[in-house]
A and B are shown apart, each in its own frame.
Chain A
């Protein structure tokens, strides 16, 4: 076995993955006091569990995730089904346009939309009502603004995955559906969607992971409007470490977030691991533990 081919990755994995994980666990058991690290056991975790700012941030990203992931994936699925139907000409062009925002850095997308949300800059916002222009930067509307940003950035990405999955369905199945008298819409709902069930589950899991890590958009928007330092767990973790220099508490919070993310992903995978009961056809259960296309990307 050519060990030297494997060695660089194993070393990187040990140094920049395993070590940081263990180091975060280690840090989370201490407090810094006058330049001294004092072992406090699980005290930081007790503090995290009592920290209402942390949990309200977490609730906010969960709320955000439920709404955003639902909207985005429905949009993506409908677009993919429409582009896979007989109704459309110029499919390649539409696919390119919808997928385009994937190439735009999340930060730039956030800047762009952040400016577009400013009522002075964007007359579209004042269209909603001449007297009370909708201000997506105002308190209470920021989350809606972020939902729109993330949907703009990632709907086409997910559509691309669905579309590729749809094109791998054998045409014979459509033929059979047509002989059974299925309309195009019925075929989409009863044949196509069940066939790409595994792909849909995969995108849900990846999107949940992404939405719990929400950071870039609120971080940029914090420059344009009032957003609290603990708006999302990741913002809280970042600000605790780099604005207040409390690395120990920050580490404890990131361990809790990582565990929650991990458990949420596994829970969702477990909940959906039963085959669809109504689907008697053999469903191709492709193995795809992950296909996160954006290494190191934080949403």
Chain B
């Protein structure tokens, strides 16, 4: 993919001015603080009561930790609905990522490996679809899902999420590069049918592309807000994003007049953590996905 190796790149480095080096490092560190401090503040905040949030230094842990009582509050508040939302988020993200990736890979495989009438038309429509904002489709999608009786059901949210024009575009480009057309011919010579070739030969070859698309779809669905907000009105079915936005809306009004700050802090922190871990461990795959097409091969 890249014409120059990292080693070659390093050999071409010149020794830079130490003053400039230090200045740059300080600048980059300050910017890193800008990106990290809100998350660190969130971590610190999970240990505080509302009172402590307002009265103790924002970036310091309090002298008396209330992490445990916040945790118990989270587990009992509205009968532990937070965990229901967490399960929903996992369900939606897994379903959309697994099925959506497979559907996109199958379509991308056909569009990249076969010449047929309509191929161009489908490929062009996919590119057009990428320019139409998802939000513009949300209202008619809501009415459609409602009219087929799937509003406030799992399939009603998951089915629209399976459509991933970017995924098909990604897989088409990826497969065109990763899979030699001769494989198809040699498989056919051996008497295998085209479906067998796709599942037994194609899928293992495009495995890295599948992982990338799976991760991007998983994060995208986990972070998605607008579509579930429009399609769901039953609290039991909310994903974390929608549930937490409702809590913020009830910040001062809900329950016994106790502000929900600590609850929202610990819930936000717990919603972010799985993504950060997934992201940290598998960043290479994610990077290769979002930079796809913008980097010449």
Residues of A near any B CB (own CB < 8 A): 1-2, 4-6, 8-10, 12-13, 15-17, 19-21, 23-24, 27, 79, 82-83, 85-90, 94, 96-109, 111-116, 120-124, 152, 156-157, 160-161, 164-165, 167-168, 170-171, 174-175, 178, 184, 198-199, 202-203, 209, 212-213, 215-216, 219-220, 223-224, 234, 237-238, 241-242, 247, 250-251, 254-255, 257-258, 261-262, 265-266, 284, 286-298
Is there contact, CB below 8 Å, between B38 and A116?
yes
Q: Does B168 contact A (CB under 8 A)?
A: yes
Mask of B80-110 contacts with A, CB within 8 angstroms, 1/0: 0000000000000000000010011011011
Closest chain A residue, CB of each to CB of B250: A223
Is there contact, CB below 8 Å, between B248 and A223?
yes
Give the distance in Å from the alpha carbon of A152 to the alpha carbon of B54 in the complex: 24
Is there contact, CB below 8 Å, between A9 and B103?
yes
Contact for A291 among B116, B265, B276, B291, CB less than 8 A: B291
Contact for A17 among B14, B109, B165, B278, CB less than 8 A: B165
Is there contact, CB below 8 Å, between A257 and B195?
no
Mask of B235-256 contacts with A, CB within 8 angstroms, 1/0: 0000011101100110100000
Is there contact, CB below 8 Å, between B35 and A215?
no
Residues of B near any A CB (own CB < 8 A): 1-4, 8-9, 12-16, 20-21, 24-25, 27-28, 31-32, 34-36, 38-39, 41-42, 53-54, 57-58, 100, 103-104, 106-107, 109-111, 114, 116, 122, 125-127, 129-144, 159-170, 194-195, 198, 216-217, 219-227, 229-230, 240-242, 244-245, 248-249, 251, 261, 264-265, 268, 271-272, 275-276, 278-280, 283, 286-287, 289-296
Is there contact, CB below 8 Å, between A152 and B34?
yes
Is there contact, CB below 8 Å, between B106 and A5?
yes
Closest chain B residue, CB of each to CB of A94: B28
Chain A residues near B159 (CB-CB < 8 A): 12, 16
Contact for A114 among B13, B248, B272, B287, CB less than 8 A: B248
Nearest CB in chain B: distance from A78 CB, A: 9
Closest chain A residue, CB of each to CB of B145: A16
Chain A residues near B15 (CB-CB < 8 A): 86
With a 10 A CB-CB cut-off, give which of B4, B162, B167, B249 has the most chain A CB atoms.
B4
Is there contact, CB below 8 Å, between A175 and B133?
no
Is there contact, CB below 8 Å, between B137 and A294?
no
Is there contact, CB below 8 Å, between A87 and B131?
no
Chain A residues near B24 (CB-CB < 8 A): 82, 85, 87-88
Residue contacts A-B, CB under 8 angstroms, 30 given? A5-B195, A12-B163, A16-B137, A16-B160, A17-B163, A87-B16, A88-B25, A94-B32, A97-B36, A99-B287, A102-B219, A104-B272, A106-B225, A106-B241, A121-B54, A122-B58, A152-B34, A164-B287, A171-B4, A171-B9, A174-B12, A261-B131, A266-B131, A286-B296, A293-B290, A294-B216, A294-B219, A295-B221, A296-B220, A296-B226
With a 10 A CB-CB cut-off, give which of A164, A265, A286 has the most chain B CB atoms.
A164
Closest chain A residue, CB of each to CB of B42: A112
Give the distance in Å from the alpha carbon of A215 to the alpha carbon of B135 in the complex: 9
Contact for B280 among A16, A83, A96, A266, CB less than 8 A: A96
Is there contact, CB below 8 Å, between B32 and A98?
yes
Is there contact, CB below 8 Å, between A123 and B58?
yes
What 4 pairs across the A-B complex have the smallest Cβ distances?
A9-B107, A288-B293, A293-B290, A20-B140
Chain B residues near A220 (CB-CB < 8 A): 245, 248
Is there contact, CB below 8 Å, between A2 and B198?
yes
With a 10 A CB-CB cut-off, give which of B16, B142, B245, B278 has the most chain A CB atoms.
B245
Nearest CB in chain B: distance from A219 CB, A: 7
* Contacts known (A165-B291, A297-B134); A111 close to B38, Cβ less than 8 A: no
* Contacts known (A105-B240, A116-B41, A295-B164); A2 close to B195, Cβ less than 8 A: yes
Chain A residues near B194 (CB-CB < 8 A): 1-2
Give the distance in Å from the alpha carbon of A120 to the alpha carbon of B100 in the complex: 44
Is there contact, CB below 8 Å, between A20 and B54?
no
Is there contact, CB below 8 Å, between B278 and A103?
yes
Is there contact, CB below 8 Å, between B21 and A87?
yes
Nearest CB in chain A: distance from B134 CB, A: 5
Nearest CB in chain A: distance from B135 CB, A: 5
Is there contact, CB below 8 Å, between A105 and B222?
yes
Nearest CB in chain B: distance from A128 CB, A: 15
Chain A residues near B109 (CB-CB < 8 A): 5
Nearest CB in chain B: distance from A149 CB, A: 10
Is there contact, CB below 8 Å, between A165 and B295?
yes
Is there contact, CB below 8 Å, between B140 and A27?
yes
